[in-house]
Structure 1
Amino acid sequence: MPEGDTVLQTAKRLHSALADQVLTQSDLRVPRFATADLTGRTVLDVSARGKHLLTRIEGGLTLHSHLRMDGAWRVFAPHERWRGGPAHQIRAVLANTTHTVVGYRLPVLELLRTKDEEQTVGHLGPDLLGPDWNADTALRNLLADPGRPLGEALLDQRNLAGIGNVYNCELCFLARATPWLPIGLLPESTAVLLVSTAKQLLEANRDRPVRTTTVGARPRAGAAPAPRTRRPVENLWVYGRAHRPCLRCGASIRKVEQDIRPTYWCPHCQKGPTP
């Protein structure tokens, strides 16, 4: 699931493969930019802004992409077979003398002037993994609409950038609140802790090959520690664990599909309304 940490790792891989090198091949397979030719230009930088990728290219151009649910960029050596999906799913190819990067199933791919980047990403809230991170601003953004469900507020990139559905479910569990609880009903101390925990989790996973939320984070104060068992180590508290026992209380984890996103929660540990 591409979230802020995954997108940052992708940006690092693309930067390593492309930055400071001249493009020897450029193929943007979307109708609007199919005739654009970036061959001969040097890639200056690849960076992440929330869940957006910005590839800056000589001449004041930026290739903006967004992975959404299942988009991906793959990096290959010259003459290496491309693996990532069938050819009809390829949306972009950029190559130099040492690497080829291929974008699969990219729902957003556009070429814009670097000076106009803010028109595309300027609406985003503080980036949990970016230099603009500001916890106070993120908290104010989240609490601006007290009646909004907690899960919706966390997923709104205008409040804070980088949280996707996995972190949404995990953060709600750690706050001991269902995703449908109006965020204004959270105690102030819990809301503050929620923001700091979001930052902590994404920072902890920014370089991990396998995302984990169960190391270094525990449910909110007052929760009994999880019993010692021989159960294999779990990477996530609730996400992807439908009908399996809660790692804290043993209750069966629930799941509901909403707007193509699955939501997971523990009916015992998390308080608040449910579907």
Structure 2
Amino acid sequence: MPEGDTVWQTARRLHGALAGKVLTRSDLRVPQYATADLTGRTVLDVTPRGKHLLTRIEGGLTLHSHLRMDGSWKVFAHGQRWSGGPSHQIRVILGNADRTAVGYRLPVLGLLRTADEQRVVGHLGPDLLGPDWHPEQALANLLGDPARPLGEALLDQRNLAGIGNVYKSELCFLLGVTPWLPVGALPAERAEKLPALAKKLLEANRDRPVRNTTGRRGQDLFVYGRAPRPCPRCRTSIRVADQGDGSRERPTYWCPGCQAGPAPSAGPAHGTPRRTTN
């Protein structure tokens, strides 16, 4: 599931394949940009911003993409068979003499002036894996609406950028509160450590092929995706329920024994994880 760590890894992979090299192939399969031709231009860098990817190209252009739930970027060597999905799912192809980057199922793809990047990422809060990280500002943003459920506040990229549904559930478990607890009810000492804890989790996983929040082998996550299995701490059955306004499916996992605070009264102790969109 693409979250801040996944996007950071994708940016690093794309940067290594494209940065400093001249594009010999350019194919944007989006009607608005179908006639755009980037061949002959050098890719300057690929930068992650929260869950957004900014591919900066010579001539003051930026290709902006967002993976959301199903999108992915694949990098292939010259002559290597592409394996990211059927051809009709390809949204963009950027190639040079050595590598080809192919974007599959990208729900967001846009070409804009680099000077206008703020138009697509200016709304984001401090980036947990970026140079603009500011823990005090992130906490102030979260506490700005004290009645809002903590889980919803963590997913709001305007507060801090990079957290998705997995880290939301895991962070709430580590803080010992349910995702439905109002932000303002979070004990002060836990609120103060929240930004550092979130950053620690994402930093620890940005270089890992498999996300792990527990630090243990054989059990990568504390609660996410684990209903109705027993909690690794208290052995209570982990529960799952949707959180939010219903416009997106947000399966939220928690342990009733370890996490204090409100929760859906009928939250099942079993169920198949639903797909989420972040």
TM range (shorter): over 0.9
Match of 1:179, SS state, is coil
What is the rounded CA distance, in whole Å, between the counterparts of 1:39 and 1:192 in structure 2?
49
Residue of structure 2 equivalent to 1:252:
237
Post-superposition shift, 1:72? 0.3
Correspondence 1:37-116 to 2 at 5 A: 37-116=37-116
What is the rounded CA distance, in whole Å, between the counterparts of 2:62 and 2:35 in structure 1?
16
Residue of structure 2 equivalent to 1:221:
none
Residue of structure 2 equivalent to 1:223:
none
What is the rounded CA distance, in whole Å, between the counterparts of 2:7 and 2:110 in structure 1?
17
Correspondence 1:177-188 to 2 at 5 A: 177-188=177-188
Matched, 1:148 2:148: yes
Amino acid at match of 1:95: G
Correspondence 1:175-214 to 2 at 5 A: 175-214=175-214
Deviation string for 1:177-196 (max 9, x for gaps)? Answer: 11111010001111111111
Deviation string for 1:69-114 (max 9, x for gaps)? Answer: 1110000011211111111111100000000010011010000000
Match of 1:63, SS state, is strand
What is the rounded CA distance, in whole Å, between the counterparts of 2:89 and 2:240 in structure 1?
30
Post-superposition shift, 1:273? 1.3
Post-superposition shift, 1:233? 2.5
Name which of 220, 229, 239 aligns with 1:235. Answer: 220
Correspondence 1:163-174 to 2 at 5 A: 163-174=163-174
Amino acid at match of 2:105: R
Amino acid at match of 1:189: E
* TM-score, length of structure 1 as denominator length: 0.93
Residue of structure 2 equivalent to 1:220:
none
Residue of structure 1 equivalent to 2:255:
266
Match of 2:253, SS state, is strand
Match of 1:2, SS state, is coil
**Which moved further from structure 2: 51-60 or 232-241?**
232-241
Match of 1:152, SS state, is helix
Residue of structure 1 equivalent to 2:268:
none
What is the rounded CA distance, in whole Å, between the counterparts of 2:104 and 2:251 in structure 1?
23
Amino acid at match of 2:249: I
Correspondence 1:111-122 to 2 at 5 A: 111-122=111-122
Which stretches in structure 1 are left out of the alignment for 5+ residues? 217-231
Post-superposition shift, 1:40? 0.7
Residue of structure 1 equivalent to 2:19:
19
Post-superposition shift, 1:257? 3.4
Match of 1:91, SS state, is strand
Match of 1:26, SS state, is strand
What percentage of residue pairs aligned between the two structures are identical? 72
What is the rounded CA distance, in whole Å, between the counterparts of 2:8 and 2:240 in structure 1?
28
What is the rounded CA distance, in whole Å, between the counterparts of 2:240 and 2:86 in structure 1?
31
Instruction: State the superposition RMSD in angstroms.
Output: 1.0
Match of 1:154, SS state, is helix
Amino acid at match of 2:134: N
Which stretches in structure 2 are left out of the alignment for 5+ residues? 265-278
Match of 1:166, SS state, is helix
What is the rounded CA distance, in whole Å, between the counterparts of 2:87 and 2:201 in structure 1?
35
Residue of structure 2 equivalent to 1:219:
none
Match of 1:75, SS state, is strand
* TM-score, length of structure 2 as denominator length: 0.92
What is the rounded CA distance, in whole Å, between the counterparts of 1:233 and 1:20 in structure 2?
40
Amino acid at match of 1:261: R
What is the rounded CA distance, in whole Å, between the counterparts of 2:150 and 2:83 in structure 1?
38
Deviation string for 1:197-228 (max 9, x for gaps)? Answer: 00111111111111110029xxxxxxxxxxxx
Amino acid at match of 2:145: D
Match of 1:238, SS state, is coil
Match of 1:101, SS state, is strand
What is the rounded CA distance, in whole Å, between the counterparts of 1:195 and 1:47 in structure 2?
22
